[in-house]
Chains A and B, each alone.
Chain A
Amino acid sequence: MTGGNKIIVPFGSQHIALPEPVSFLFTTENEIIKDVEVDVGYVHRGIEKAAITKFEFTNVAYLLTRVCGFCSITHASGYHHGIEKLLNVEVPKRAEYIRMLVVELDRIHSHILANGHVAEVVGYENLFMQSVRYREKVMEILELVTGNRIQYDIYKIGGVRKDLTPEIVEEVKQKLNQLKNEMLKIYDFYDKDYTFGLKTKGISYVSYDMAKEYNAVGPIARASGVDTDTRKEFPYLPYDEIGFEVQTMSEGDVWARNMVRQKEVLHSIDLCLRIVDNLPEGDIATKVKGRPKGEVFVRVEAPRGECFYYIKGNGSKVLERVRIRVPTYSNIPLLKELFIGERYSDAQAIVLSFDPCMSCTAR
């Protein structure tokens, strides 16, 4: 569609570069984006409504972990942490460590795929394939630890469902060490490859001030030098005990977002190794009684950034309110602003550098 030298270009809701249905309507002038309209409402699933009408609180977690295939364990963390606070339940240390292991493994496979997607849209399809190959190792570890490749459902109120045997711990260590070697090679590539740098450095720059002004979360904020991570600010699992450190960069572009994720992959592998090396002895679950009454606010760190949960119980089996604020939802206002002034040809890399999850956003 044209009007003078303006061209309006629809991007999504289905597009070869988009992993999920979000729609952008770009108004461009000589390939430069002048305006953008965003539409996220293609797949709204009414999960918050279902959580307070269709399920008892003991079964809501099965629903919430289906908010997203990638970060299902984040939703399990947010919900269980909140419900356990409302029920005044103390989770055994061993269970907390097993939870933390699965949460970090989930972050690793999500980041590997997100970075692979960016590589693919800037022309490195072979690197995308290689990333998926490496990611397979993480999926194998997750299957070993939880029994499932996705939708792990290892959380239960008061603990976890499955323990780690010494044999599993050994195999996890072996696979993590192999994975670390492979991830170091990919880190070097993202860090030093000249052509990859040409296509990603300086693209869609987010300054520190802009990241703060738009309340960016996760790797997007950290790539612009904002030292924020709910694992540090709201430690819902014992991250303090295993030496967690926030990974930041200052460049604020597509390249920096990839590098932050790649640094986090390496750091999460180290954290996983420390978790299995220091796994406490003891029970993996505690008995739970009662019904949730009161309100609780919870923040957890999904691979894409801060995920917020609000839960309100009234002492009955069915909750009164479950609110989920996911990281992509928080980053969309910034993404919308960022397009202005960029080339249309960079739109794919910009979107994918945000690692958007519409499944979460329109939960």
Chain B
Amino acid sequence: MIINPQINFYEVTLDNVKEKIKEFYDREKHHYVTINAVDNGGNVTIDWIFSDYNKKHVLYVFRIDGVEYDKLIPSIIDIIPSSWIAEWELTDLFGLNIENAPKGLFLKHNPNVYAPLRKDS
């Protein structure tokens, strides 16, 4: 249950998330906030989050539930150039496989630490 009353929620899939964000995003109106992940134990929920420059409390969330760890997740860098930092962080902290995202920006290689924000880590 999401508490925010003024949230526009879109359930998307790995196949169509990029297309849906491209259709939706207008940089004059929308502010890209970040990409978030929540580990469910064995898979993750991923949110692409946006706000509105002109409307109070309004948020837009594109969500995919149940993404398995090894699935290829599309990058949105060509739509939102600043999104690389959130994509690279998810590869480090959740061990996700995001298109063209290298590991190592936030965490240096350590054989004892892998994907620390997974529940089993």
- A contacts, CB < 8 Å to B: 39-41, 44, 46, 48-49, 85-86, 212-215, 226-228, 232-235, 293-297, 299, 306, 308, 310, 312, 320-321, 323, 325, 329-330, 332-334, 337, 362
Smallest CB separation, A20 vs chain B (Å): 15
Smallest beta-carbon distance A234→chain B, Å: 6
Find chain A residues with CB under 8 A from B108 CB. 41
Secondary structure at chain B's binding surface: helix, strand, loop or mixed?
Answer: mixed
B13-61 contacts to A, CB under 8 A, are 27-28, 31-34, 36, 38-39, 47, 49, 51-53, 55-57, 59, 61
For A306, what are the chain B residues with a Cβ–Cβ distance below 8 Å?
31, 33
CB of B100 within 8 Å of the partner chain:
no
| Interface size, chain B (Cβ < 8 Å) | 39
Q: How many A-B residue pairs have CB under 8 A?
A: 95
The answer to whether B57 and A234 touch across the interface, beta carbons within 8 angstroms, is: yes
Q: Is the CB of B82 within 8 A of A299?
A: no
CB within 8 Å for A330 and B82 given contacts A46-B116, A294-B3: yes
| Cα distance, A237 to B53, chains bound together (Å) | 18
Q: How far is the CB of B43 from chain A (nearest CB, A)?
A: 14
Task: Give complex CA distance A338, B1 in Å.
Answer: 41
Given A86-B3, A294-B3, A310 contacting B36 (CB threshold 8 A): yes
| Seed contacts A41-B108, A233-B56, A312-B38; 15 additional CB < 8 Å A-B pairs | A41-B107, A212-B28, A213-B27, A214-B81, A226-B53, A233-B51, A295-B1, A297-B2, A297-B59, A308-B33, A310-B36, A320-B38, A325-B34, A332-B85, A337-B81
Q: List CB contacts (< 8 Å) of B90-121 with chain A.
A: 92-93, 104-108, 116-117
Docked CA distance A86–B53 (Å): 25
Known contacts A46-B116, A214-B82, A329-B85: A297-B7 contact under CB 8 Å: yes
Interface centre among B80, B81, B86 (most CB of A within 10 A): B81
With A49-B116, A233-B51, A333-B81 known as contacts, the answer to whether A228 contacts B2 (CB < 8 A) is no
A228 / chain B contacts, CB cutoff of 8 Å: 31, 53
